């Protein structure tokens, strides 16, 4: 089986790259994946797979093998990031303010290849393969929950997903039993002061100074409130305030993210964030509005499904391509699928020759990762349905 599949993947590799580049040229941000959805739907149609629209721009296509057997799902995300792409690649984004800077274009191309490879083999297996194309992975509350509510997992016994990973050598696989990706929450703070002339700060309540103290003071949560043996992250992503160099503004807005695996740490984070925001603002005679928004839960891989993935990787790609990895603090709404059915999410290395990390405006993947990714996703479905 493996040699036959390997030959078909090699024959498909040129189209795989072409699909990925065409998708890369037409990035669309969360919930606006209209062109993207139509492009993938057209591919399913050519394979004779009717695709049902779910959760707006999402798709669910079903490949039926011989009667009987189980049902396995393969999932891809579809949305791009709200970034202006940088660099001079020939397949650079044609859509201003949107870029596939995380690899979702590659994920879709891999799923399209797996669908074609499996459709060619539908008489060889019993059961069904469900292809889930999900919108809005990058924007909490995300697209996974609406897809699930609309029936994406109906009849599914297991689900698998991958992320092309810049931090691993091309073609290698990293996976973790249990918690693999973190709870991903965010917060927003509006510091309210009293503006005035920059030459007379004594007549103001300076929200810029207060915000600066907040940025420093809130870092003490991880360093002094969280058990050092428990992973946690607090990072600021935005800070906005003022319009002119010599005017102290009335308010400053900040936002950031917190990441953790332990629900108790989440409770602690929320409590200490509010306490320090209120205390710091009071010390500077300012006020604050504080909002905390819970994001994706931790992504927890089913241990038995991880063993299954590793066994398939060993047979399909070779044991030498398995790399031990640690959990990461990134968030991923594939976590919601794993709360409903057994399954596993893994990283497939695409980092050879690349310089920029995920979410950088000049991010790119090593396209040599696409064939082994398609090979593995197809193999996982075939092995599960044996």
Please state at what angle helix 2-25 crosses helix 370-384, rounded to 10 degrees. Answer: 130
Domain end call among 264, 296, 328: 296
Mean of pLDDT values over 351-379: 97
Average confidence (pLDDT) over 193-221: 98
Quote the pLDDT of residue 323: 97
Residue 210 backbone dihedrals phi, psi, to 5 degrees = -60, -45
Q: Does the pTM exceed 0.85?
A: yes
Q: Cα 343–344–348 angle (5° rounding)?
A: 150
Categorize the per-residue pLDDT at 135 as very low, low, confident or very high, splitting at 50, 70 and 90: very high
Structure confidence at residue 207 (pLDDT):
98
Average pLDDT over residues 143-155: 98
DSSP string, 274-311: HHHHHHHHHHTT-EEEEEEEEEEPPEEE-HHHHHHHHH
> Same domain for 242 and 193?
yes
Catalytic (active site) residue 79: yes
> Tens digits of per-residue pLDDT, 24-52?
999 999 999 999 999 999 999 999 999 99
> Which is catalytic among the residues 105, 137, 138, 366?
137
Please determine, for residue 1, whether its predicted confidence score (pLDDT) is greater than 80. Answer: no
- Kindly state whether residues 144 and 240 are assigned to the same domain: no
State the pLDDT confidence band at 119, using cuts at 50, 70 and 90: very high
Question: Does position 163 have pLDDT exceeding 90, yes or no?
Answer: yes
- Based on the fold, state whether residues 148 and 95 are members of the same structural domain: yes
The number of folded domains in the chain is 2
The active-site residue, picked from 79, 138, 333, 364, is 79
User: Which of 269, 296, 323 is the endpoint of a domain?
Assistant: 296
Together in a domain, 259 and 191: yes
Asked if 21 and 77 sit in the same domain, the reply is yes
Same domain, 265 and 303: no
Strand 58-64 relative to strand 51-54, pairing = antiparallel
Same-domain check for residues 176 and 155: yes
9 pLDDT above the threshold of 90: yes
CB 84 within 8 A of CB 33: no
- Residue 376's pLDDT is what? 98
Q: What is the mean pLDDT of the chain?
A: 97
Please write the tens of the pLDDT for every residue from 209-256.
999 999 999 999 999 999 999 999 999 999 999 999 999 999 999 999
Asked if omega into 141 is within 30° of 0 (cis), the reply is yes
Give pLDDT, residue 2: 82
Domain of residue 355 covers 2-181+298-384
**Rounded Cα gap, residues 287 and 280, in angstroms:** 9
Are 155 and 22 in a shared domain?
Answer: yes
| Domain at 53, CATH number | 3.40.630.10
The domain that contains 216 carries what CATH number? 3.30.70.360
């Amino acid at each position: 089986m493996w040699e036959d599949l390997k030959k078909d993947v090699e024959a498909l590799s040129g189209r795989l790259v072409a699909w990925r580049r065409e998708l890369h040229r037409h990035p669309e941000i969360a919930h606006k994946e209209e062109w993207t959805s139509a492009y993938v739907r057209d591919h399913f149609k050519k394979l004779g797979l009717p695709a049902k629209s779910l959760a707006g721009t999402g798709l669910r296509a079903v490949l039926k093998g011989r009667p009987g057997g189980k049902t396995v799902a393969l999932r891809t995300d579809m949305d791009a990031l709200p970034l202006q792409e940088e660099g001079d690649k020939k397949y650079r984004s044609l859509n201003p303010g949107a870029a596939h800077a995380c690899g979702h274009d590659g994920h879709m191309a891999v799923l399209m290849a797996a669908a074609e490879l499996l459709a060619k083999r539908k008489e060889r297996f019993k059961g069904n393969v469900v292809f889930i194309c999900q919108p809005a992975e990058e924007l909490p509350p995300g697209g996974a929950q609406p897809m699930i509510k609309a029936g994406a997992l109906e009849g599914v016994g297991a689900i698998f997903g991958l992320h092309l990973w810049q931090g691993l050598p091309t073609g290698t696989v990293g996976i973790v039993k249990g918690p693999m990706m973190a709870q991903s929450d965010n917060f927003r703070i509006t510091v309210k002061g009293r503006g005035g002339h920059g030459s007379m700060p004594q007549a103001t309540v300076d929200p810029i100074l207060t915000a600066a103290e907040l940025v420093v003071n809130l870092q003490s949560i991880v360093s002094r409130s969280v058990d050092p043996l428990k992973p946690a992250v607090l990072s600021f992503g935005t800070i906005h305030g003022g319009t002119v160099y010599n005017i102290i503004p009335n308010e400053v807005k900040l936002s950031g993210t917190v990441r953790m695996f332990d629900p108790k740490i989440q409770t602690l984070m929320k409590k200490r964030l509010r306490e320090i925001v209120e205390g710091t603002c009071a010390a500077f005679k300012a006020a604050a509005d504080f909002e905390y928004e819970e994001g994706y839960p931790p992504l927890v891989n089913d241990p038995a499904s991880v063993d299954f993935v590793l066994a398939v990787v060993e047979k399909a790609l070779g044991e030498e391509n398995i790399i031990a990895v640690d959990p990461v603090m990134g968030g991923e709404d594939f976590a919601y699928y794993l709360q409903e059915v057994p399954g596993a999410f893994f990283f497939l290395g695409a980092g050879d020759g690349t310089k920029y990390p995920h979410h950088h405006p000049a991010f790119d993947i090593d396209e040599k990762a696409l064939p082994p990714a398609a090979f593995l996703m197809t193999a996982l479905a075939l092995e599960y349905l044996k």
